[in-house]
Every structure is written in C-alpha cells, then in structure tokens.
Amino acid sequence: MRTGKFGKVAIVMLIILGILFTAGCTDTEEVTEDTGEDTITVGIMGPYTGGAAVYGNAAKDGAMLAFNEANLSNVEVIVEDTKSETKEAATAMNKMVSVDNVQAVVGDLISAATLAAAPIAEQNQVVMISPASTSTDVSDAGDYIFRTIPGDDGQGIFAAQTMSDAGYTKLALLYTNDQYGNGLATIITEEFTSLGGEIVAEETYEAGSSDMRTQLTKIKDANPEVVYIVSNTPDSSVALLRQVTEIGIEADIYGSEGLKVGSILELGDSVEGITITSVSPESEEFKQKYMDEYGEEPPAFAAQAYDAATAIIMAIEDGATNGEEIKDKLYEMEFDGASGHIKFDENGDVEGGYVLVEVQDGAFVTLEE
C-alpha cells in the first residue's frame, strides 16, 4: 500500500501548502503597510467563466484599457474570476481586500454577485463600482457601492415609453428568469400599462437555455405588435433570435442591451431592424480605442467598465490613497465618460441616458434622437 501512503502524504502537503500560500500573502500586505509605499492596488472582478463570461471579459477588457492608458506608476491592478457565482464573488472580494489590500474594485457584473460581495467591500471600506449590475437592490447596498450603469427602472421606463411613443399598444415580453429579466420586466409592465398599453403575453426561459420555441409560439398566438426581449446570456440570445425568425413572428422586435453582442450579427438578415434599448452609447473615441486594442466593437458593458476604472483613476490622481478617500472623491466628481455623463448620486447611482440602437446592414447603429 505504498501508493496509499503517498496519496495521504500528498494530500496533507496540499492542505499545508494551501494554508501557507494564503497565509504567506498576509506578510506582503504588512510589508506594504510598514514601508508606507503609496502603491494603491485596484481590483477587477467579474465572471470570466460560466454563463456570463462574454460580458465579464468585455468589462475586464474595457477596464484594463483605462488602466493601461492612465499608466499610473502607483497603481497596481489585479484580476479575479467570480465564475458567475455569488459565493465566488464573496470569496474573490475577501481575497482582494485582505490579501491584495485593494482600495477599489471594478465589478461585479451580475447583480446577485455584486450584492454578495457588497457587504464585504462596505465593511472594509473598499469602493466597488459595478459596470453592469442593474438590480434596484444595488442602490441600497451601501455607501461604498457605486455603479456606472443606471438601474433597471431607468431602462424599463425608457423602453416602455419608446414603444408607447412609437404607437404600439400590444406588447409581448420574453425574458430570462433571473434577477435582470424579472427586474426589468416588472418595470416595463407597470410603465407600459400605465401608458395605456396592454401586455398580451409574458413568457420566461432559464438563463442559458436554447429552446424557446413554445414560448415564442405562445407569443405569436397572442398576436402582439411588438416583442420586448430581455436576455443576458449570449447563447440564449442567439438561439432565441434565430427561433423568432424560424417560427415566423411578424411583430417588431425590441430588446434590452444584453442583446448587443457581436454574435447575434452573424444571424444575418434575420436580425436586421431589431431595436435595442441601450444605455447611452459609447463615445466614438472609445469605440475606436477599443477596436484598435481588441479588434472588435465594444460589447455591452465595456464602456461602463472603462468609466468605472476612469472614475477610480481620477480619484487617485486627485490624491486619494485609500477606499474612504476614493469614495468621497467619487461623490464629488463629474465627468464625460465613454458611456456618457457620469455623476454619482447619493446612492452611488448614475442618471444615464438611453438611446435606441438598431441593427442595420449587419452592424449596431445608434439612432439619432
């Protein structure tokens, strides 16, 4: 049974190694504090694996772009994956706070993950700026919790008003059965009915699923004038839009910003004319920079992440050295970012405007007001 012994020894070693590794990091933290070096560590966290990985990577790229541009000698950036899971978000936040001694974090994207990590950031006086969490609960998550994207209520009201203004009265909703989908759908329903419209169908699907035919059949049967889609997993978005065409839904298609991912454009003619309600578009300047760097159009949330990073950079350039000072500076600052005008209110939320983006000739085109 020599392999047996060896196995046990190896496993005990592994645990000791684990304790040492995580403990070893404490020392470095103390060293930085002792020498009083003014290196400020900033974290980026988000889902780089799991269902929301596409958005996570886009946000990471956007934020990295800002940090690389600013190239501050006293700022160090670290990245943590939260696997699209709440527990991982809490772990990542804890790790960054106590091991890397971060003062500010760009992330998380998923509202659930942001809400799980927020109490830890709040307690340790670390600033957290989410580029994508739109749940209304995030507003009340704490003083240190900011976001560069307006909450669901903003987009929901905008979408309902836009569709109502365009003369539609019969709306069908199709949304992911998650925080984002439910949050947005509730607000659209309220607003659209108060504007005199009618919700003729309301269907949901599981995040990541790729078969919505019967939901779409029910929608088709309800005969709406317009369908509003809330999707935040690209595989579902692509499957769904394909099935809209195949089932032959004649109604006009609107969608939330989650639909703004490059892969839907590959569906060709069938996505022509889809209208997306998107938070104010990225500036041309940012678009160009992003394309130069990564060779593709910035996906949803890249510009918001860029702005979140920019806000932190500005605070640091302004002399902030720790989370508390960064927080104070954030409440005071105001600037025109890649995603529009950024000014945080007392909840750490931004106003943000919305625009309509339409798919024209295989590209996302922002419609002029």
Partner 1 sequence: MSLLAQSIINGLITGSIYALVAAGYSLIYSTNNFMHFAHGISVVAAGYMVYWLFTLAGTPFYVTCIITVILSALFGLAMYRLIYLPLQRKGASNVILLIASIGILTFFQNVIQIAFGSGVKLIGYIEVAKGITFAGITMTLLQIVILVISFIIFIMLYQFMQRTKLGRNMRAVSNNKELASIVGINHIRVSDFSFLIGSGLAGVAGILVALEQNLSPLMGTNLMIKGFTGAVIGGINYVPGSIVGSFLLGLAENLGILVLPSGYKDAIAFSMLFLFLLFKPNGILGKKEGRFDK
Partner 2 sequence: MIISAYQTHIFILIFIYIILAVSLNLALGYTGLLNLGHVAFYGIGAYTSALLAIEGMPYLAAMIIAGLFASVFGYLLVTATDRLKGDYLAMATLGFSFVVYSLLLNLREITRGAMGIPGIPKPSILGLTVRTNDQYLIFVLLICAISVFIMYRIVKSPFGKLLEANRDNAVCLRVLGKNTFGLKYKAMMISAFFAGISGSLYAHYITFIDPTSFYISELILILTIVIVGGLASIKGSIVATAVIIYVPEILRTLDLPSSVLGPVRQALYAAILIAILMLRPRGIFGKVDLE
Tell me: does residue 7 bind partner 2 (CB under 8 A): yes
Tell me: does residue 64 bind partner 2 (CB under 8 A): yes
Decide which of partner 1, partner 2, none touches 11; Cβ closer than 5 to 8 Å per partner kind: partner 2
Residues binding partner 2: what is the number (CB under 8 A)?
58
| Three-class DSSP category at 139 | helix
Q: How many residues in total does the chain contain?
A: 369
Tell me: does residue 112 bind partner 2 (CB under 8 A): yes
Residue 154 buriedness (CB in 10 A; 0-12 / 13-18 / 19+): buried
Tell me: does residue 119 bind partner 2 (CB under 8 A): yes
* CB 131, CB 304: distance < 8 Å: yes
Residue number with CB closer to partner 1 (161 or 182) = 182
Residue number with CB closer to partner 1 (165 or 250) = 250
Tell me: does residue 99 bind partner 2 (CB under 8 A): yes
Residue 221 buriedness (CB in 10 A; 0-12 / 13-18 / 19+): exposed
| CA 270-283-164 angle, 5° bins | 50
| CA 201-204-206 angle, 5° bins | 170
In whole angstroms, the minimum distance from the beta carbon of 209 to partner 1 comes to 7
User: Out of 42, 65, 128, 141, which residue is the one contacting partner 2 (CB under 8 A)?
Assistant: 141
In whole angstroms, the minimum distance from the beta carbon of 126 to partner 2 comes to 11
Tell me: does residue 348 bind partner 2 (CB under 8 A): no
Decide which of partner 1, partner 2, none touches 349; Cβ closer than 5 to 8 Å per partner kind: none
Number of Cβ within a 10 Å radius of residue 35: 9
Tell me: does residue 108 bind partner 2 (CB under 8 A): no
User: Out of 33, 39, 87, 351, which residue is the one contacting partner 2 (CB under 8 A)?
Assistant: 87
Residue whose C-alpha is closest to residue 356's, from 163, 184, 152 = 163
Decide which of partner 2, partner 1, none touches 54; Cβ closer than 5 to 8 Å per partner kind: partner 1
DSSP string for 27-72: HHHHHHHHHT---EEEEEEE-SSSTTHHHHHHHHHHHHHHHHHH--
CA 61 to chain centre: 12
In whole angstroms, the minimum distance from the beta carbon of 74 to partner 2 comes to 20
In whole angstroms, the minimum distance from the beta carbon of 94 to partner 2 comes to 4
DSSP string for 299-340: -TTHHHHHHHHHHHHHHHHTT--SHHHHHHHHHH--EEETTE
Decide which of partner 2, partner 1, none touches 208; Cβ closer than 5 to 8 Å per partner kind: partner 1
Residue number with CB closer to partner 1 (195 or 247) = 247
Pairing of strands 145-147, 127-130: parallel
Which residues lie near partner 2 (CB under 8 A)?
3-4, 6-8, 10-12, 14-15, 17-19, 21-23, 25-26, 29, 44, 47-49, 53, 57, 60, 64, 79-81, 83, 85-87, 90-91, 94-95, 97-99, 112, 115-116, 118-119, 123-124, 135, 137, 140-141, 177-179, 181-183
